Structure 1
Amino acid sequence: MALGAALTTAAFFCVSLVGALAKQGGTYTSTGVLLLFQNAIGLLFVVPVALRGGWVGVRTRRIGLHVLRAATGTACWYSLFFAITEIPLANATLLTYSAPLWMPLIAWAVTRQRVARPTWIGAGVGFVGVLLVLQPQSQSVGFGSLAALAGALFLATAMMSVRWLGATEPMIRVLFYYFLLSTVISIPIAVADWRPIPPQAWWWLAALGCAQLASQALIVLAYRYAPAEKVGPFIYSVIVFTALIDWVVWNHRPTLFACLGMVLVIGGGLVAVRARRSLGVRDRP
């Protein structure tokens, strides 16, 4: 359990780096280009390892779930990369990583199992935190915030698919299909959104791809050492890491409302996850 928690925390530290690197890299090139290189660099590292034992090692009977995970994961990252061009990095990350609050609804939609009342209470508390960050009463909710919320829905679905895949698929196969399919999906997006890449951007693109590869590998590895339900709450470490990076690097000090929102989103998510675990609710098809 301790190792799983440590790996999960390290994974989401890498995720916070992905957001920060994308924000900086976005000053040189387009969102579509960032998305393509994020996935293509990971694919370059994963392919030799995955094919070391031949095609048998990557043969799968769950291609549908792999496609679902890649499509929703790619959509999540595109939404987040767009959002950080419109709103502070910490706010965009908080809204996107409110994803666990949406997972009970997705689990119910897929399995039709009853969701416990404490789970809904926890999710409700978290959504109040989301409203505090959005502050719709004092300003209009812009495209950046809406993109981040859309990213949360995509991320929740991607996280559920990772759990389902983890039941039968080895780590390297999950990574292989994620980076392969995500790269294929990213190519037309990058072509439509192409912008010439200046020399100084290549360092940021390379670092972005390496951080993404590390985050994905660590997440899948963490689920090998501890159940997703137990290490799931550590996803919220990305909110803290990103808020600190946004404050130190871009001098975006979180407002009181943003801090309260973080507390409620994290607290509500922890209540929801704990309720699901104590009641033994399964979300695996």
Structure 2
Amino acid sequence: MHDKIRGPLYMTLSALSFATMGSFTKALSVYEFSTFQILFFRGIISGIVVYFMAKKGEITLGGRTSQGKKLLFLRSLFGVIGAALYFFAISKINLANAVLLNNLSPFWVIILAWIFLKEKPSKKGLMYLIIILIGALLVIKPKIDFEVFYSCLGFLSSLFAGAAYTYVRHLRTMDNPRNIVFWFSIYSSLFVFIPMILMNYKSPNMYQMLLLVAVGVCSSLGQVFLTLSYKVAESSEVSIYQYLNIVFATIYGIFIWNQVPDMYSILGAVLIIGSGILNLMTNKK
């Protein structure tokens, strides 16, 4: 199979894996599992899957350098905070809206790279960022109620995810992808262990355990397919397919959770996805 086909295919499978993970996470929230317990199992299971998929020498103790170890820790810290906010939002609001707000992370990367890495975006890039923020407001629909609060948590999850991905941009020159994913999984489990115990750990039955395992497997598959996609194709050629995550989540939301997006959410999604596609096309040119 040609790389021009494999790249988009891997990214599509990654988007499907992450959307499926979100649906399994929402299913677990029905049984009142804490976000920390879900994250703990996700990290452990994902770490095991990645460990056995890694080649000899790819998994090292921490990072390959002292700076790499520090960046791995910070990437994991911001990543687990973002994941916790995202999972909590999934349990409380429309699945498609939570996924949509979390997918704003690439644009936080642009802003953070501008601030900390001095990578100034183009004028068109700034224009797309403004349109995206307008789209996010349409999805959140500011008003005084708890759903707005949970939507804001989903929005914040993209900020922390964006910070984590900014660290990944440094790490990719110092470490291999499987080691980065492995240690993110392990660190995320360690970070949430004590909160999980304090939040009344709940012993899962067989069905619930299968759901927890499914979250971890889907998470690791999403990361692996993402890595493979960027390995065989240029970022500008495959990044656009990440937005299929939103499409898959919408399908799950409609047919499994009976959650039909309202017109404001649909319009916001069009603005966000459209601006994202235009931004990618501009960068590709």
- Superposition TM-score, scaled by structure 2 size: 0.89
Cα distance, 1:32–1:258 mapped onto 2, change above 3 Å: same
**2:249 counterpart residue number:** 242
1:1-285 → structure 2 map (5 Å cutoff): 1-28=4-31, 29-48=33-52, 50=54, 52-53=56-57, 60-61=64-65, 62-136=68-142, 142-199=148-205, 200-278=207-285
Cα distance, 1:140–1:201 mapped onto 2, change above 3 Å: closer
CA distance in 1, matches of 2:201, 2:262: 34
Q: CA deviation at 1:33?
A: 0.6
**SS of match in other structure, 2:106:** helix
**Structure 1: gaps of 5 or more residues:** 279-285
Q: CA deviation at 1:157?
A: 1.8
The one-letter code sitting in structure 1 at the alignment partner of 2:26 is K
**SS of match in other structure, 1:26:** helix
Q: CA deviation at 1:150?
A: 0.8
The one-letter code sitting in structure 2 at the alignment partner of 1:60 is R
State the aligned residue count: 278
CA distance in 2, matches of 1:233, 1:59: 30
Q: CA deviation at 1:54?
A: 8.8
Deviations 1:152-191 (A, max 9, x none): 1011122233333233422322222222222222212322
Q: Is the 8 A contact 2:93 2:147 kept in 1?
A: no
Report the identity percentage. 25
Q: Is the 8 A contact 1:23 1:84 kept in 2?
A: yes
The one-letter code sitting in structure 1 at the alignment partner of 2:223 is Q
Q: CA deviation at 1:79?
A: 0.6
The one-letter code sitting in structure 2 at the alignment partner of 1:145 is S
Q: CA deviation at 1:58?
A: 6.8
The one-letter code sitting in structure 1 at the alignment partner of 2:44 is A
Q: Is the 8 A contact 1:166 1:223 kept in 2?
A: no
Q: CA deviation at 1:78?
A: 0.7
Cα distance, 1:44–1:56 mapped onto 2, change above 3 Å: closer
- Superposition TM-score, scaled by structure 1 size: 0.89
**Structure 2: gaps of 5 or more residues:** none
Deviations 1:230-273 (A, max 9, x none): 32222211111101100010111111111111110001112233
CA distance in 1, matches of 2:63, 2:260: 48
**1:282 counterpart residue number:** none
Q: Is the 8 A contact 1:21 1:204 kept in 2?
A: yes
Which stretch has the larger CA shift, 16-25 or 92-101? Answer: 92-101
Q: CA deviation at 1:52?
A: 4.2
